[in-house]
Amino acid sequence: MSQNPLSQWGRALDRDFFHQETEALARALLGTVLVHEAPEGVTAGRVVEVEMYRGVNDRAAHSYRGVPTERTHVMFGPPGYAYVYFIYGMHYCLNVVAAPDGVGEAILIRALEPVSGMELMAERRHMLWPMPPRLIRTLTNGPGKLAQALGVSKAQYGWPLWSPPLRFYVAESPLSKWAIREGPRINIGYAGEAAHYPWRFWIAGNPFVSRG
């Protein structure tokens, strides 16, 4: 069977895609489509915003101290796996493990543009459907929102993201560097100097970005 089959969302990304430098991978994930084929239905969204976290060089990273824990061990594994964590006692967040085995870097998927399964997304988010077009962006314009909308929880911790039921597809040509904006990450004021690193990337002008 082909490692990167075609679908309605484009070409499935294979394992090799994730073996690139962390910033390059973060930028390359923009514009891809993340699909979850869950038993209750299929949901999909185009990645429009990400943040990267760079291990021992980044006070904002869960892997900053350089020692794997029960929570973070998958971050220190090979790239391309799902690192899912629980935050504020109410939200799951989905990250793509990056960098070589043992390094401890990851990319947070921060916002999606819904492309399929919006009714199921709304049901999972406890929102009424149908909804006005202007409110559709609220389904997935934040890391906790998109994880809930796609049905991602701790159950997906450690899943390979190049294989169903949770995987990425390339639906269009790579984005031009002019289409990508960068700036400081959000809600990491505790991280000292690292709070100012321009390690958040998003698609310019996309209304589904969590913040412009």
pLDDT at 133: 92
pLDDT at 1: 37
Judged against a pLDDT cut of 60, whether residue 25 lies above it is answered with: yes
pLDDT band at 176 (very low <50, low <70, confident <90, very high): confident
**In which domain, by residue range, is 92 found?**
6-178
Q: Which residues pair with 183 in a beta bridge?
A: 200
Task: Report yes or no on 72 lying in a domain.
Answer: yes
Task: Report yes or no on 207 lying in a domain.
Answer: no
Task: Report yes or no on 125 lying in a domain.
Answer: yes
Task: Report yes or no on 184 lying in a domain.
Answer: no
H-only helix segments in the chain: 22-29, 118-124, 133-136, 143-150
Judged against a pLDDT cut of 90, whether residue 181 lies above it is answered with: yes
Q: What are the pLDDT digits (tens) for 50-107?
A: 999 999 999 999 999 999 999 999 999 999 999 999 998 789 999 999 999 999 999 9
Q: What are the pLDDT digits (tens) for 142-168?
A: 999 999 999 999 999 999 999 999 999
CATH number for the domain spanning 100: value is: 3.10.300.10
pLDDT at 4: 66
pLDDT at 172: 67
User: Whole-angstrom Cα distance, residue 147 to residue 145?
Assistant: 6
User: Whole-angstrom Cα distance, residue 30 to residue 24?
Assistant: 10
* Range name among 2-6, 22-26, 50-54, 124-128 with the lowest pLDDT average: 2-6
Token pair of 18, please?
Answer: 């994730």
Task: Report yes or no on 24 lying in a domain.
Answer: yes
> Do 170 and 180 form a contact (C-beta atoms < 8 A)?
no
pLDDT at 2: 45
Task: Report yes or no on 194 lying in a domain.
Answer: no
Q: What is the mean pLDDT of the chain?
A: 94
Task: Report yes or no on 112 lying in a domain.
Answer: yes
pLDDT band at 177 (very low <50, low <70, confident <90, very high): confident
Our count of domains for the chain comes to 1
| Residue 32, burial from CB neighbour count under 10 angstroms (0-12, 13-18, 19+) | buried
Task: Report yes or no on 58 lying in a domain.
Answer: yes
pTM surpassing 0.85?
Answer: yes
